[in-house]
Structure 1
Amino acid sequence: MSGADLPAPEARPLLARGVRLRHDPVRDRVVLLAPESVIEANPTALAVLKACTGEVTIAAMAADLATRFGADRALVEADIRRLIADLARRRLVVLA
């Protein structure tokens, strides 16, 4: 995937209509619910999904997660951009 295919750091991801985070009592964890699917996310992806409010930029998400997890901000931002691009292709997030 080229950089041109990735959302800009200034993009503000938002969970798509009908997509939400919910606690699944069977799995005892938070999952992403979408029409006809349930998606489990690792802790880092879950942190990104929780920030998908349409108000937080990808760059701000990266700065926050890099601080929280003690990771390189540029690497975190690249990972978030790839994740958001994948979620957008699957119509689970929209970019504001």
Structure 2
Amino acid sequence: MDLTPTGATQTSATTRPGVTVSDADRPRLARHVRLTFSRTRQCQVLLHPETVVVLNGTGADILELCDGRHTVAEIVTELGTRYQSVPDDEVRQFLTRLVARRWLEVGDG
């Protein structure tokens, strides 16, 4: 679930105080962010103005489920069916970091 930004600029706001995600939140990509497959890199990337974030497989799987319909709890459950073990706290930390950077938005369940 590492985020590896490449490109001209990096977002300086890595955290916002008080930003957390709850099990009932329904995360979705912000309007200015796109998840797409990079043929050059042969992996999923997150496109943000002037930044390309290379995702590992787990990070891409999480973001594919961030469609505004799945709750955080449902995302964790779905990942549990795909992988042997899913550290719930790591998924929540990953989502919290993306919300703090304003790459994800959350709606209440």
Indicate the TM-score class for this superposition, using the shorter chain for normalisation. Answer: 0.7 to 0.9
2:50 equivalent in structure 1: 36
Mapping 1:49-60, distance limit 5 Å = 49-60=63-74
Identify the structure with the greater helix proportion. Answer: 1
Distance 1:79 1:29, change over 3 A: same
Identify the structure with the greater strand proportion. Answer: 2
Give the conservation status (yes or no) of the 8 Å contact 2:32–2:48: yes
Mapping 1:65-80, distance limit 5 Å = 65-72=79-86, 75=87, 77-80=88-91
RMSD: 1.7
Pairing partner for 2:102 from 84, 91, 96: 91
Q: Taking every aligned residue pair, what percent have the same amino acid on both sides?
A: 32
Aligned length: 91
- Alignment gaps of 5+ in structure 1: none
Q: Secondary structure at the match of 1:56?
A: coil
Q: Which amino acid aligns with 2:74?
A: A
Q: Which amino acid aligns with 1:7?
A: V
Q: Deviations over 1:69-91 (max 9, x none)?
A: 0115xx2x211110111001111
Q: Deviations over 1:10-45 (max 9, x none)?
A: 110010012111121221222111111100111111
| TM-score (norm: length of structure 2) | 0.77
- Alignment gaps of 5+ in structure 2: 1-17
C-alpha distance in 1 between matches for 2:44 and 2:19: 29
